[in-house]
Structure 1
Amino acid sequence: MTFSIVGYCPIEKEWGIAVQSKFLAVGAVVPFAKAGVGAVATQSYANTTYGPRALDLFAEGKTAEEALQIITGDDQDHHLRQVGLIDAHGNAASFTGEGCYHWAGGVTGSHFATQGNILVDERTVEAMASIFTNSEGSLAERLLAALFAGQEAGGDSRGQQSAALLVVKEKGGYAGFNDRYIDLRVDDHPEPIKELIRIYQLQQLFFAPTKPENIVSIAGHVKEELTLNLDRLGYLSKELDLLQALKTYIHTENFENREQAAGYIDLDILAYMKKQG
């Protein structure tokens, strides 16, 4: 009752998984990934040892296909399992046991593997493969586009409940301390993929680097709009001038990653501020 895609970006050296299921908190079960090593999606009576075991095998130099043969060969219930893998070099492999509930299967291609079980039909994995192959953008955006296309093509025959997105890259996590570049989950929602996309957009707003063209001087109409909105939101006072009020707002709303030199602002912050009630 799950469909997923694992993918790799050779340019940015990113590995990732996107998954949806009629299952509570699927992100706690299916996705495993490590920067420089690979990514795994384990599902259908999920054997969660497949994730760390495959990553260890990748670290030893095994390919996706070699790791797949080992982890399924060691599992007496492999006929019930489904798994997709991407190794350190972007090679893909997918496995669907003969005991998985119909419809079940997968598609592999350049730098991706998509798989699903208890689906309406094969169009879900085919749509995911097509969109991932033909879309542009970051790995996260392509994975989400593929997941959305899979749902639109039919998806899980039992419906929707949870979704998750995990993307890793070396020093990609918060402040560069780990590899969890993007780690988002929707544990229980009537439209989890749409909600996951919304949360991803928020994640980009708060943590993606500022675009150089969005850095502008606080002057003219920008200063007028900033003053109006900081006052409207209660940040301006006799004790705080405009720049002090902006700094307080930025730190209150967790926009530290987009804070600019004194006298400048990221226009994305101003746009977000204008939308607030």
Structure 2
Amino acid sequence: MKSLERGLLVVASLLASTQTFAAPPAGATVNPRVLGTRAIVACDAVEKSCGVASISFPAGISGLVPYGRPDVAVATMFYPSVDDAEAVIARTDAGDTAQTAVDYVFTVDPYADYRQLAAVKLNPNGTITVGQRTGAENAPERCAVKGATFVVQANNQTTPLICGAMATGFLNAKGSLPQRLLASLKAGALVGRDRNGERSGVIRVWTSENESTFYTKVLADAVVHSSRTALKDLDVEMNRYQAGIAAPYASDLIPLDAATAKTVKTALNKIGHYNGVVDGTWNDAAEQALSDFNWSNLFFLKPTVVVGGQRKIDGPLVNFLRDADPKALMVGGE
């Protein structure tokens, strides 16, 4: 297993600052004032997928917080550590539960007091184990919640209630794992946020089951840096990726009701695929326009489908169309 010593020197002489943050050693370039993150880590045994969703203040958290693959996901926070993440993954590969792996890493990492670490492991038999530890020197207003298939953790938040809200949001959400991770972040935003503000985020999900895995195991990948509307932008980017690259999930199908039909026809009209009446009905002309859009833009075709006598459409696709720049979806458009 890779040594934990590499990369740990950055916090070799951690001290408490006036904001009760740990200060980096002399000569180090880490700025403790920007630390603070909230995240959810989860796996889905049916979808055979695992992922992480996180939102924070500083740019770059997409390279600091989430680690994983289709059978395991890890979030390393406060003073993040790639060595800790890789060690947890290695221990679960060796047969440890996620909690045993996290506990082990905390015993061998000399800077464990300054870590916040969560892991979720999907086993070959479909069972899921979860693990979480928060070091004693983490930022105030920290919290953690473990569920059967997920872990929520946060530090330096406006309220520790944020973890419970995120957990409830995840449990109540419907749809594929990426959609439920996004719902969790949104639920947390209703009760609190990072004390520094939330300007950057990432949602990354890996899968071994979706038809897209012949080409990539990344089911969803959304990254936002330094935006005043980071959560909204993360929503747009994730739906853009999932609609464009991933094969559709039955759980993401939504009824093609009048409001949805009008939204889709409006977008198709702006792009130039649909020239009929923009209303809440759906007809052959609208279906052909959607098909033309599919052929022009999507990796996997996503027509409407009839389920139990009701016509439905892929939810991420609807969101993608709703938020997209029409000119960006026109073939040869400028």
TM-score (norm: length of structure 1):
0.78
Contact 2:273 2:292 in 1 (8 A): no
Deviation at 1:229, TM superposition (A): 2.9
Confirm or deny that 1:205 pairs with 2:239. Answer: no
| 4+ long deviations beyond 4 Å | 171-175, 210-214, 246-251, 267-275
Corresponding residue for residue 78 of structure 1? 112
Confirm or deny that 1:5 pairs with 2:40. Answer: yes
Corresponding residue for residue 25 of structure 1? 60
* Aligned residue type for 1:108: K
Deviations 1:22-56 (A, max 9, x none): 111211110011123x1100000111212222111
Deviations 1:45-97 (A, max 9, x none): 11121222211111111101110111111110100100111012321111111
Distance in 2 (alpha carbons) for counterparts of 1:173 and 1:98: 43
Deviation at 1:230, TM superposition (A): 5.1
TM-score (norm: length of structure 2):
0.65
Distance in 1 (alpha carbons) for counterparts of 2:209 and 2:147: 27
Contact 1:7 1:90 in 2 (8 A): no
Confirm or deny that 1:16 pairs with 2:54. Answer: no
Q: What is the number of equivalent residue pairs in this alignment?
A: 248
Contact 1:15 1:35 in 2 (8 A): yes
Deviations 1:80-127 (A, max 9, x none): 100111012321111111100101121111101000010111111110
Unaligned 5+ residue runs, structure 2?
Answer: 1-35, 257-264, 276-289, 304-312, 328-334
Corresponding residue for residue 125 of structure 1? 163
**Structure 1 residues 257 and 168: CA distance shift in structure 2, 3 A:** same
* Aligned residue type for 1:41: A
User: Which 10-residue stretch deviates more, 202-211 or 131-140?
Assistant: 202-211
User: Which 10-residue stretch deviates more, 15-24 or 181-190?
Assistant: 181-190
Deviation at 1:207, TM superposition (A): 2.4
* Aligned residue type for 1:23: P
Corresponding residue for residue 102 of structure 2? 68
Confirm or deny that 1:87 pairs with 2:100. Answer: no
Distance in 2 (alpha carbons) for counterparts of 1:61 and 1:16: 20
Equivalences for 1:257-268 in 2 at 5 Å?
Answer: 257-258=300-301
* Aligned residue type for 1:33: G
* Aligned residue type for 2:52: I
Corresponding residue for residue 169 of structure 1? 207
- Over the residues paired in the alignment, what is the CA RMSD in angstroms? 3.3
Corresponding residue for residue 146 of structure 1? 184
Distance in 1 (alpha carbons) for counterparts of 2:212 and 2:202: 18
Distance in 1 (alpha carbons) for counterparts of 2:117 and 2:141: 15
Unaligned 5+ residue runs, structure 1?
Answer: 215-221, 233-245, 261-266
Corresponding residue for residue 239 of structure 1? none
Contact 1:172 1:178 in 2 (8 A): no
Distance in 1 (alpha carbons) for counterparts of 2:43 and 2:176: 10
Higher relative contact order (CA 8 A, sep 6+): 1
Distance in 2 (alpha carbons) for counterparts of 1:161 and 1:173: 33
